[in-house]
Structure 1
């Protein structure tokens, strides 16, 4: 059976990165003699800036936002129903995206490693300020959101599953939750105490600034699991990548795990960076995160063994040859970098130590 991967494209630099994703995924499939099929969403979803440019007033913004959200949600449901286990999505307007994440109960998962120390960051995308609905008045926007014990427990259990996936055979003894729990009348604390007792894990609820202070003062133990509310984890993700993993967001991809039973086998991959509308059409957007997403999907969802290592070897080799986009101090276009990666992936004997520079 031919593995099928979903592809959803937003405006801005989305079309350029979608092309890069297809080229790299195809090359990895061919290198492993695995044909891979793509199911592409027929809708080109809005970025924030394309939405503002097209819409006339807040009511039209609201309408287009809902249309994008409804379409992408249905696309994900259709993929899951067809047995597809992965979808790559370029950046789209956050308001539409978070409507979908709330409905499909998503968490974002990223393992940030620094030598022998690693942090599993699990971002609660299913509840909190980033979710909810707006009601407009005269010069006022009322935003209503919901927290629930049911969703909180699903997020905690997802974090424990992901910890077992990344650290097989090791027991998670403590899980830290970074939430503004003081604003919820003590309810979150009661829920967390009960959830932890029933599942045999010590859950430490902490204010986000306390988590930040402890990271600065004490660093991390060898294995740490932090569940972050959206309001904290969105900001801190990039900071933690820099501080703990020496990574830039332009180079990083991440996973969104859906917890709703209708789509729970579908994993969404995305770049950490946004739509980069200011680079649209210039051919200079950094494709590294997209290339890594293609490799992760090829290996984990299409049966291309060794795809991640092979791709990392190619990226390292090209960096050593100064084949990189301008944001990394290079002089190569998006297309040139992707072509150079594909050229290496197509070489049967490439192991990361090729002597001659690639053509770019």
Structure 2
């Protein structure tokens, strides 16, 4: 029996969470779901978006499944009291990752047969550093007419990310790791990430390594994504390019994610809460369902994880079981039930 903490999220979160939990239950893996509040629901109940009560639940769980949370423009900063001082996070998502000491956001994106895609050959995995960079939340104003944001890059964080990326690539039989950076302009910060990653690459000669300017990575994704495999990016670059990858594969609703740390792991879709379509039943649950599959793989339930992945592909191959963003007309619950039914068949429980 595994304990899985569940954050149902804001906007479309509760709808796609229901679909993902339906799929997880269909695997037959013994999972005990414990629900926790964050974001708007936590503000309503605890008067803060990331309460310590929620963090306690998350830290005690074997894994965490998190639906999207709203990230307000310009007003989403979170302050927590830690060791007698204020710690500021730029968003609820950032606060959760850093409070749980998660250091890498793994975002695999690939196109599925039958799904309209701008790059049907895309099959890449983004390894995004999530502890520092421009998302460190260190900002200040200069008078009324200027603002400064500090980009933090440390050798320790870069090395930890690179070691994880190479080990992951090896475990999944991936052939190549590419670092995206702007060391030609950000000589010291991105330069440090480049030199540190290159040193780790020398210790992993069985995996091909290369580096590219991050704008060139974007161009390569658009024109020749088959040349890329595992891509290491800093916090902001990874945030941006993973959405681009989702769009190239057919839609951001296909992009899952895992946040991994030394002790905790949190699984979430790459997309946001989409409050404009909340309650309409049109939200695509596939990204969170695939994230749930990654959760199973993390727990060592390999057969169940593979069943989820295959079931998603089988369901997406049929237009009648695709949501409107993928050219179909199915609603959120229908897609979840279809994937769950196929998972049950694959697991011999149909």
Tell me the TM-score range normalised by the shorter chain. Answer: 0.7 to 0.9
- Cα deviation digits, residues 121-155 of structure 1 (max 9, x gap): 21122211122234456465543442211111111
C-alpha distance in structure 1 between counterparts of 2:247 and 2:281, whole Å: 26
| Match in the other structure for 2:40 | 46
Q: Find out whether 1:35 has 2:33 as its counterpart.
A: no
- Cα deviation digits, residues 4-23 of structure 1 (max 9, x gap): 11211221111222222222
CA drift of 1:295 comes to 3.4
- Choose 140-149 or 298-307, whichever is displaced more: 298-307
Task: Give the secondary structure class of the aligned counterpart of 1:109.
Answer: strand
Distance 1:13 1:146, change over 3 A: same
Task: Give the secondary structure class of the aligned counterpart of 2:132.
Answer: coil
Distance 1:98 1:247, change over 3 A: same
- Cα deviation digits, residues 61-91 of structure 1 (max 9, x gap): xxx7xx42454xx7456544x3x33211111
- What number of residue pairs does the alignment pair up? 316
Distance 1:339 1:207, change over 3 A: closer
Question: Of the candidates 94, 97, 115, which is equivalent to residue 98 of structure 1?
Answer: 94
TM-score w.r.t. length of structure 1? 0.72
Across the aligned residues of Structure 1 and Structure 2, the Cα RMSD in angstroms comes to 3.8
| Match in the other structure for 2:203 | 200
Q: Find out whether 1:14 has 2:13 as its counterpart.
A: yes
Residues 15 and 281 in structure 2, CA contact (< 8 A), matched pair in contact too: yes
C-alpha distance in structure 1 between counterparts of 2:192 and 2:146, whole Å: 33
Distance 1:224 1:345, change over 3 A: closer
Q: Find out whether 1:111 has 2:108 as its counterpart.
A: yes
Distance 1:120 1:340, change over 3 A: closer
C-alpha distance in structure 2 between counterparts of 1:159 and 1:165, whole Å: 10
Distance 1:299 1:120, change over 3 A: closer
C-alpha distance in structure 1 between counterparts of 2:95 and 2:334, whole Å: 36
| Match in the other structure for 1:239 | 244
C-alpha distance in structure 2 between counterparts of 1:332 and 1:217, whole Å: 31
Gaps of 5+ in 2: 72-90, 112-119
Task: Give the secondary structure class of the aligned counterpart of 2:284.
Answer: coil
TM-score w.r.t. length of structure 2? 0.74
C-alpha distance in structure 2 between counterparts of 1:205 and 1:8, whole Å: 36
C-alpha distance in structure 1 between counterparts of 2:342 and 2:7, whole Å: 27
Residues 132 and 146 in structure 1, CA contact (< 8 A), matched pair in contact too: no
C-alpha distance in structure 1 between counterparts of 2:130 and 2:236, whole Å: 10
Matches within 5 A, 1:1-360: 2-29=1-28, 34-41=29-36, 43-46=37-40, 67-69=48-50, 71=52, 75=54, 78-80=57-59, 82=60, 84-94=61-71, 95-103=91-99, 104-112=101-109, 118-135=123-140, 138=144, 141-167=147-173, 175-182=177-184, 184-186=186-188, 188-190=190-192, 192-193=194-195, 196-197=198-199, 200-201=203-204, 204-214=210-220, 220-221=226-227, 224-243=229-248, 246-258=249-261, 264-301=262-299, 303=301, 305-309=303-307, 312-313=310-311, 316-317=314-315, 319-320=317-318, 322-346=320-344
